[in-house]
Amino acid sequence: MPKVCLYPRCFNRQKTNSTVTFHQLPRDPEVLQLWLSAMSINDVESPSLRSRDVRVCSEHFSDEDYRTPTRGQQKSKLLKSFAVPFTFVDPGRLIEVFQVEVPVTTIVKVEVPVTTIVKLEDQEAVVILEKTPISEDSLSELFSGSRMKLDMKNDIYSTYQLQPPAHLNKIKTTVVCPATEKHVKKYQSQEIFLVKETEEDYNNITLPYIQQQSFSIQWVFNILEKKAEADRIVFEDPDSQLGFVLLPDFKWDQKQNDNLYLIAIAHQRGIKSLRDLTPKHVPLLKNILKKGEETIMQRYGLPAWKLRVYIHYQPSYYHLHVHFTALEYDAPGCDVTRAHLIQNVIQNLQLYPQYYKTQTLSFTSREDDGLLSKFKDAGRL
């Protein structure tokens, strides 16, 4: 009798010249139990198990399950003593399990791309590796055509290593070659630091730095004076004290609300950042918040409770502006190390007029940031 594979729905039989190998059931009763449960075989007494020709074929093991080949051997055919076959899950049942426990869309996660600098034939190259997002159309194929290995099971939670079919397992790879120094610098991961800026630090380090740099904000004045980007303005309150213009951020293509992103720029000049805000600016902040929310509701249909409205510290330019982003969009810079919710800013100013002048404010700074080197020079980091 030829050797046959016991694995559910596998019809492999031993043939000459086939690369498939066939493995005997383990003698160790504990390992045997693991094999049987991986194959969804509950009946240990099943007569089919007693047949001399029953095996499990190599298609149900991963490469790591095999012993390292000894010298001279091409590939090991010997399983490690604790190797266990892939867990068999009925494809139909699997889809059922996933759909019953959670809506399928919530388990689709996008991988963060990995960037690496490599040398290709003596030239520097930037390589960006990105796992492509899982499309919902491929889910049923993903569940039915993948191999699964149980990692851990605890009560209702279990984790598997899923080996998808090759065509569903692509990695988008972007190559910049030859990469200039600028490219390398841009893509090289920059170390980031948390700076705790006291009132003294602001007066002695940050303020002189801002003044000395005299960052050009002419482009902001151009927008406010309609000399540039006038057609992009979606709302304006022209009041010189309380007024502002509202326009979409360049990161938002305005095609869908998922990543809605608008900026309100105050008409009032001279408010460099959060540090300059006092209770006399509360009416301005309230006006921006109220009219910004109303405009976004009227124009894009997104209500106030779907918006994250905040001020950056440090800001990317030193003229008061407020960010409006869709709550479900993880906009860059919307985390606690940079964003200050405008509602909290208003309350802090009302409770304690000197709040932003006196409090220690923390923010993150990249290695290549000029302000960071000033803090390092002053021995504050």
Residues that bind Zn ion (CB under 5 A): 5, 7, 10, 12, 57, 59, 312, 315-316
**C-beta of 5 vs 224, nearer to Zn ion:** 5
**C-beta of 126 vs 331, nearer to Zn ion:** 331
**C-beta of 5 vs 307, nearer to Zn ion:** 5
In angstroms, rounded to a whole number, what is the distance separating the alpha carbons of residues 124 and 188?
A: 12
The kind and range of the H/E element at 222 are helix 218-224
Residue 315 beta carbon to Zn ion: minimum distance, rounded to whole angstroms = 4
**C-beta of 59 vs 229, nearer to Zn ion:** 59
**C-beta of 88 vs 375, nearer to Zn ion:** 88
Cβ atoms within 10 Å of 362's Cβ, excluding its own: 13
Longest CA span, the chain: 93
Residue 340 beta carbon to Zn ion: minimum distance, rounded to whole angstroms = 10
Residue 61 beta carbon to Zn ion: minimum distance, rounded to whole angstroms = 10
* Half-sphere exposure at residue 168, Cβ-oriented, CA atoms within 13 angstroms: 18
Show the CA angle centred on residue 104, arms to residues 61 and 39, nearest 5°.
25
State how far Cα 254 lies from the chain centre.
22
DSSP structure class, residue 106: G
Residues 6+ apart with CB under 8 A from 157: none
Task: Give me the residue label for tokens 């191999």.
Answer: 147
**C-beta of 84 vs 126, nearer to Zn ion:** 84
Residue 162 beta carbon to Zn ion: minimum distance, rounded to whole angstroms = 19
Strand, coil or helix: what is 20?
Answer: coil
Kindly state the tokens that stand for 109: 């996660």
Kindly state the tokens that stand for 212: 């000395």
Q: 100-108 long-range contacts, Cβ below 8 Å, gap at least 24? A: 104/136, 104/139, 105/136, 108/133, 108/134, 108/136
Residues with catalytic function: 321
Q: Is the separation of the CB atoms in 353 and 278 below 8 Å?
A: yes
**C-beta of 10 vs 127, nearer to Zn ion:** 10
Residue 267 beta carbon to Zn ion: minimum distance, rounded to whole angstroms = 17
Pairing state of beta strands 171-176 and 244-248? unpaired
Q: Is the separation of the CB atoms in 179 and 126 below 8 Å?
A: yes
Pairing state of beta strands 54-57 and 321-326? unpaired
Sort 290 into a burial class: Cβ within 10 Å, 0-12 / 13-18 / 19+.
exposed
